[in-house]
Amino acid sequence: MAHRPAGEAAAAPSHLLEHVRAEPLVNGFRAWPHLVAPHTYCVILRDRHLTALREGIAAAGRDGDQRRRAHLEGLLGAVTADRPHLLRFGEQILALDALMLREARGFRLDELYERVPDGLRGFVELFYGRYNDPGVRFLEPALYRSPLYDPTLQAVSLRASDPDQPGDGMRVPRSPGRDGLIAPAPFASGVWDLLGRARRAGTPGGELADALGVRPAELEALVAADGPGTVPVPPPDGPRVRFFGHACVLIEDGHSSVLVDPLVAYRRAGTADRFSFADLPERIDCLAITHAHLDHLDIETLLQLRHLVGEVIVPRAGAGDLVDPSLRLVLEAIGFHHVRELDDFESHEIAGGGLLTAVPFFGEHADLPIRGKSGYAVRLQGRTCVMLADSRCLEPRIYEHARDLIGPVAALFIGMECEGSPLTTANAPYLPEGLYTAGMAESRRTNASDAAGALQVLDALRPERAYVYAMGLEPWLSYMFGVPDPTKTYSLSQVEVFERECSRRAVPARLLRGAQVLELGGAS
């Protein structure tokens, strides 16, 4: 098909093709919350990104791919030559860990402040916990206002892809290719709102290219004049849930809409096998995040629906702990303006009517002091849904207290991924060296509830029905963590046990996957 002349392309409305990914990058790597928070980014840069870049440069040299090699050398130089303070900060965190473990022996800490590495001074408080263990608190707001937070490292990769094929993962730096481009795109900038609108209503001709700093011709293979299709769904007649896949749940009633853990699928043109961006409502009154794991706080989705969102609810984090960066500060840094933290059992009134209540989230974080996690109870027109994400039932009485507070539960959504990774798999960059043995790491896995735990939650909350979700089964999530064989996973065998025991209790229960509409008026 012949291409339009550049002038004509600039005059036509532009819609991003539905199979074009808009992937946010931080110095070439796929963005997630710990690459936004300055202190966690610096330790990941030191611990993982430098190695990945050097390995990528060597591989590109062996393959004779000079374009990729030059691009990766540019990314490496951006942090070694142009911004060495980022690496120094990460190295100095390691040095402070060693200092505290060596010198903080239960006596006063006053003199240690003078021995804090120079780059950290003024950004940390030293303390002891109640069990006399040393600790460090980072003054996170000051970090975001310092050169340690650098939006010029942020970009977008626009690339045509098969939505259901595995991608390059978190540890592979991205490079421009024949099927796409990479352009500067600070996450708080309006270019992401334009990209989000281009997913739905389209953008005025040439405006998207101008915002990205590219020629309209560079976008021709990624955009079309026609808008995306939608999955036909009638307007809600009372409270209902639209399940977008994994842990992405939209609760709506025609007056209010609440979206929990948005992770929205891309789809092939002309298909209607899943909900996508065009299927979201024109207004999302409240967006709630359960925790910072990348399949629950997906920056790629969040930036493209930001222009639809009224307010955001996040759990209250651990006040400066390296393993628990503030989700409020992360969301504000990427351009959300109305972000509120909720602590356990606190409630928030939803615009248009209804109530959202934070429910404690135990487990899945390997017994680390991470407070930035919460389940939610959403009540619309007297019908309550409880989303517990990857909570593990360590203490069933928590949910008895929750039942006393939130009242009758129409639907329980609970994750049962009970084959989590060892403690150090994801958390190693933040942990002091030499403190954790292989046995400790294996013992402290990032598990959600198994069947026994999920049944304890069920018995405490006494819902009318239960849904198992957040299992990573959708084919469009293969780029994130693959699609397991249902016959070979312990987690899915536990789901079968849970469903069988729910049946014995006369509670309808089933495993969710794909796009579904769940009415809340009666049993379904």
379 forms bridges with which residues in the sheet?
355, 384
Cβ 300 vs Cβ 277: under 8 Å: no
**Sign of the Cα pseudo-torsion (274, 276, 281, 284, in order):** positive
d(CA 335, CA 47): 28
- Nearest Cα neighbor of 249 from 412, 438, 455, 485 is 412
> What is the predicted pLDDT for the residue at 11?
52
d(CA 162, CA 297) in angstroms, rounded, equals 22
Query: What pLDDT shows up at residue 434?
Result: 86
Whether the CB-CB separation of 60 and 176 falls below 8 Å is answered with no
Which residue is it, tokens 């070439």? 28
Rounded CA-CA distance 493/468 in Å is 12
Report d(CA 436, CA 428) in Å as an integer. 9
**Residue type present at position 131:** Y
Provide the CB-side half-sphere exposure for 358 (13 A, CA).
Answer: 25
| Terminal C-alpha separation, the chain | 48
Residue 119, classed as helix, strand or coil, is helix
- DSSP conformation class of 49: I
Q: Any idea which residue has 């900060």 for tokens?
A: 89
3-state secondary structure 428-472: HHHCCCCCCCHHHHHHCCCCCCCHHHHHHHHHHHCCCEEEEECCC
Are the CB atoms for 167 and 482 separated by under 8 Å?
no
In order along its 524 residues, the chain shows pLDDT tens digits of: 333 444 444 456 789 999 999 999 999 999 999 999 999 999 999 999 999 999 999 999 999 999 999 999 999 999 999 999 999 999 999 999 999 999 999 999 999 999 999 999 999 999 999 999 999 999 999 999 999 999 999 999 999 988 888 777 788 999 988 778 999 999 999 999 999 999 999 998 789 999 999 999 899 999 998 889 899 899 888 999 999 999 999 999 999 999 999 999 999 877 788 999 999 999 999 999 999 999 999 999 999 999 999 999 999 987 789 999 999 999 999 999 999 999 999 999 999 889 999 999 999 998 999 999 999 999 999 999 999 999 999 999 999 999 999 999 999 999 999 988 899 988 899 999 889 999 999 999 999 999 999 999 999 999 999 999 999 999 888 877 655 555 568 999 999 999 999 999 999 999 999 999 999 985 44
Instruction: Collect all residues with Cβ–Cβ distance below 8 Å to 476 and sequence separation of at least 6.
Output: 163, 164, 245, 265, 266, 267, 274
| CB 480 within 8 Å of CB 472 | yes
Residue 174's nearest CA partner among 147, 195, 154, 198 is 154
SS3 of 379-415: the string is EECCEEEEECCCCCCCCCHHHHHHHHHHCCCCEEEEE
Report d(CA 246, CA 468) in Å as an integer.
10
Query: Which residues contact residue 170 at a Cβ distance below 8 angstroms, ignoring those fewer than 6 apart?
Result: 29, 30, 32, 294
Strand, helix or coil for residue 203 = strand
Q: Which helix (H) or strand (E) holds 88?
A: helix 84-103
3-state secondary structure of 138: strand
